[in-house]
Amino acid sequence: MELHRTPRWPQAWWWLALPAHLAIAWLWWRHGWMAGLPALMALHGVLLWGTLSPNARLFGPVLSQLPPDADGVWLTIDDGPSDDTPALLDLLDAHGAKATFFLVGERAAARPALVREIAARGHGIANHSHTHPQARFWALGPSAMRREITGCQQQLQAITGAAPVWFRAVVGHANPFVSAPLRDLGLARVAWSARGYDAVDGDVQRVLGKIAADLAPGAIVLLHEGAKHGRSVEIVTGVLDRIRETGLRTLVPGVAEDGVAADGSPPQPSPARGGGS
């Protein structure tokens, strides 16, 4: 199973959307608005779903979980670097665990030492946009989208010397203009299969309950750092404990010639593994 898949035909959606709209125009002309309007709404509903659903593959490939025969889970931490980063790195070390940090470019520029420390401790570094425009990422045009993705990529490469190979869309939203810069930069999009809404929910037990329900071999776990509720480190601690209790381990996939997953570190001959967290 090839995990690291960059978009191959980023403009393919045009060739699907244009004939669909022409067909609806013909339907409207031939049968009137009572036939044409519902068809138009249905088509735009599909396009909206493709934009807002994190696991939707309408505009390009997205990885939402590892193969079920994987012997661990992929721990991913979004929105850093932040004040929480040093504590998270110590916590991961204490558990013998590894993670991939999806970093925001302008935040990385403000704290380059933390970015280098993440890499030095053997964790993955990945692209999570340059400014994290949470409210409008889904609606960015082609130029703005390219600036967000390319800006972060250049910043992280300048700090670490290595170009990330994974990208996570802000809030998981990915409109038709995401795929072209991903293809040009060799980035593959990552979603998740286990989440607890920890970026906004500070109730540790409630968050852990939601994540634990989806913890299984091959799960991609979505976590955050620097959340306003101030309990991100506590939540990650609880997740690591749950992972250990289930007998799983953490994985940071590495690039291999056979297409095994990739993290933000230089190419590896085989997946790097954390301890029995």
Active site residue 263: no
More confidently predicted of 210 and 268: 210
- Rounded to whole angstroms, the Cα distance separating 36 from 24 reads 6
Percent of the chain residues past pLDDT 90, beyond the cut: 67
Tell me the pLDDT tens digit for each residue of 230-263: 999 999 999 999 999 999 999 988 644 323 333 3
Residue 269's pLDDT band, with cuts at 50, 70 and 90, is very low
- Rounded to whole angstroms, the Cα distance separating 80 from 95 reads 20
pLDDT, the chain, mean: 88
Max CA pair span of the chain = 68
More confidently predicted of 102 and 268: 102
Residue 270 in this model has a pLDDT that exceeds 50: no
- Rounded to whole angstroms, the Cα distance separating 225 from 198 reads 9
Range of weakest confidence among 11-25, 109-123, 135-149, 169-183: 11-25
pLDDT at position 52 is 77
Entry pTM: 0.86
pLDDT at position 266 is 34
Residue 23's pLDDT band, with cuts at 50, 70 and 90, is confident
**CA distances, 242 to each of 151, 209, 273 (Å):** 36, 10, 17
Residue 103's pLDDT band, with cuts at 50, 70 and 90, is very high
pLDDT at position 15 is 65
**In the chain, at which residue ranges do the beta strands (DSSP E only) sit?**
62-63, 74-80, 100-103, 124-127, 166-167, 188-190, 194-195, 220-224, 251-252, 272-273
Phi, psi of 74 (to 5 degrees): -100, 115
Quote the radius of gyration of the chain (alpha carbons, Å). 20
Mean pLDDT value across residues 31-41: 85
Active-site hit among 4, 78, 84, 198? 78
- Rounded to whole angstroms, the Cα distance separating 255 from 186 reads 12
Residue 59 in this model has a pLDDT that exceeds 90: no
Active site residue 78: yes
Residue 55's pLDDT band, with cuts at 50, 70 and 90, is confident
Active-site hit among 84, 173, 224, 263? 224
pLDDT at position 20 is 79
Q: Per-domain residue ranges for the chain?
A: 62-273
The yes or no reply on domain 62-273 and CATH 3.20.20.370 is yes
- Rounded to whole angstroms, the Cα distance separating 266 from 263 reads 8
Mean pLDDT value across residues 132-147: 94
Residue 13's pLDDT band, with cuts at 50, 70 and 90, is low
